[in-house]
């Protein structure tokens, strides 16, 4: 396996989750202080800590082989790289926001207005689609203060929790784009590097699949087992073990996070007891 270089965000919204994901994949490294490069001691990988906006360029140019960044940044920069995996964290949206006191009457409100943004391409596409002519004020940071200093009438920026808008007296009025963290790769990786990437992706998928599922252990009257099987139809056959108490069995299975509560309610209603729910660390299917 050849060593690959992965670029992740140095600081900002995605940094912690990117580091956590790599650690959950078993990578041993220290991401301390102001270091820009970390070597993974137990996997052929080097980690570069970069500004997220620069990651697509570095991956396109082969300075890094792969990278983790927000899809919003990827689409805006229009570089020649490919998405290998959607990662499910860093969910946010690119939205238009206006000062809270403004009565927003719809997208036509933006006609002739000034909009501050770090995402001129995505914003232009959106305005063109709605046949709105507005002036785009491109700024690279602290977009949210533009209306209060008189630089713009509206902003087009990333909203995650919404607290940045709130503290700057703005309200979200139109969503342009949904985003999450993605893993990208360059277009000219060698076969040996692709092999290393596959190993990494295998681990990422095991970690992310496990996050969507819970392990369930419960006790159930043995004569109810057929009913349990209809409540858990999607699962491969659950494990059933007899309990010391006659007429009762212990059942082990995996439930998806999505229908977790409704399944638990149904299991309770047919007499399940002693239900234990355990998080799963890795899941290989």
- Which residues in 75-169 belong to E strands, given as ranges? 82-86, 92-99, 114-117, 135-138, 154-159
Least distance in angstroms from the C-beta of 277 to Zn ion: 38
Q: Residue number with the shortest CB distance to Zn ion?
A: 52
The verdict on 159 binding ligand PRP (CB under 6 A) reads yes
Work out what residue 65 binds among ligand PRP, Zn ion, none; the CB cut-off runs from 5 to 8 Å by kind: none
In angstroms, rounded to a whole number, what is the distance separating the alpha carbons of residues 269 and 221?
Answer: 12
Decide if residue 52 touches ligand PRP (CB under 6 A).
yes
- The residue range among 96-104, 106-114, 153-161, 258-266 that interacts with ligand PRP, by the rule CB under 6 A, is 153-161
Smallest distance from the beta carbon of 40 to ligand PRP, in angstroms?
A: 24
Q: How near is the Cβ of 118 to ligand PRP at its closest, in Å? A: 6
Residue 151 C-beta: closest distance to ligand PRP, Å: 15
Residues 98-117 touching ligand PRP, rule: CB under 6 A, are none
What span, in angstroms and rounded, lies between the C-alpha atoms of 216 and 231?
13
Among 120, 162, 238, 271, binds ligand PRP (CB under 6 A): 162
Choose the one of ligand PRP, Zn ion, none that binds residue 158, judging by a C-beta under 5 to 8 angstroms depending on kind: ligand PRP
Torsion sign over Cα 215, 219, 225, 228: negative
Tell the residue number behind the tokens 């309990």, with chain if given: 243
Are 215 and 254 in contact by the 8 Å Cβ rule? The answer is: yes
Q: How far is the CB of 51 from Zn ion (least distance, A)?
A: 6
Is 52 or 144 the residue whose CB approaches Zn ion more closely? 52
Q: Other C-beta atoms within 10 Å of 107: how many?
A: 17
Report the nearest approach of Zn ion to the CB of residue 14 (Å): 9
User: 131-144 b/e with 16+ CB inside 10 Å = b?
Assistant: ebebebbebeeebb
Q: Where are the alpha helices (DSSP H) in the chain?
A: 15-24, 55-61, 71-77, 120-129, 163-167, 191-211, 225-231, 260-269
Which one, 67 or 109, has the nearer CB to Zn ion?
A: 67
In angstroms, rounded to a whole number, what is the distance separating the alpha carbons of residues 123 and 157? 9
Q: Which is nearer to ligand PRP, 116 or 232 (CB)?
A: 116
Residue 169 binds ligand PRP, judged by CB under 6 A: no
Selected from 131, 161, 230, 237, the binder of ligand PRP by CB under 6 A is 161
- At residue 29, what are phi and psi to the nearest 5 degrees? -160, 165
Q: Considering beta carbons, is residue 51 or 211 the nearer one to Zn ion? A: 51
Residues that bind ligand PRP (CB under 6 A): 12-13, 52, 141, 143, 157-164
């Amino acid at each position: 396996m050849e060593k690959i270089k992965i670029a992740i965000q140095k600081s900002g919204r995605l940094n912690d989750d990117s580091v956590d994901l790599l650690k959950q994949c078993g990578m041993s490294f220290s991401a301390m202080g102001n270091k820009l490069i970390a070597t993974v001691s137990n996997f052929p990988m080097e980690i570069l800590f970069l500004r997220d906006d620069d990651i697509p360029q570095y991956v396109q140019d082969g300075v890094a082989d792969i990278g983790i960044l927000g899809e919003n940044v990827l689409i805006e920069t229009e570089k020649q790289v490919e998405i290998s995996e959607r990662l499910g964290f860093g969910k946010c949206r690119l939205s238009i926001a206006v000062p809270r006191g403004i009565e927003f009457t719809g997208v036509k409100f933006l006609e002739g207005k000034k909009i501050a943004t770090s995402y001129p391409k995505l914003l232009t596409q959106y305005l063109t689609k709605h046949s709105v002519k507005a002036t785009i004020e491109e700024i690279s940071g602290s977009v949210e203060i533009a209306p209060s200093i008189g630089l713009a009438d509206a902003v087009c920026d990333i909203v995650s929790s919404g607290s940045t808008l709130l503290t700057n007296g703005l309200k979200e009025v139109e969503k342009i784009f949904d985003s999450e963290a993605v893993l990208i790769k360059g277009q000219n990786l060698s076969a040996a590097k692709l092999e290393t990437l596959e190993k990494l992706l295998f681990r990422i998928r095991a970690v992310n699949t496990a996050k969507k599922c819970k392990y369930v252990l419960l006790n159930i009257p043995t004569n109810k087992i057929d009913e349990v099987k209809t409540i858990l139809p999607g699962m491969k056959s659950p494990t059933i073990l007899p309990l010391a108490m006659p007429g009762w069995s212990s059942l082990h299975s995996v439930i998806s996070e999505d229908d977790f509560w409704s399944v638990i309610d149904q299991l309770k209603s047919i007499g399940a007891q002693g239900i234990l729910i355990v998080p799963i660390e890795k899941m290989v299917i």
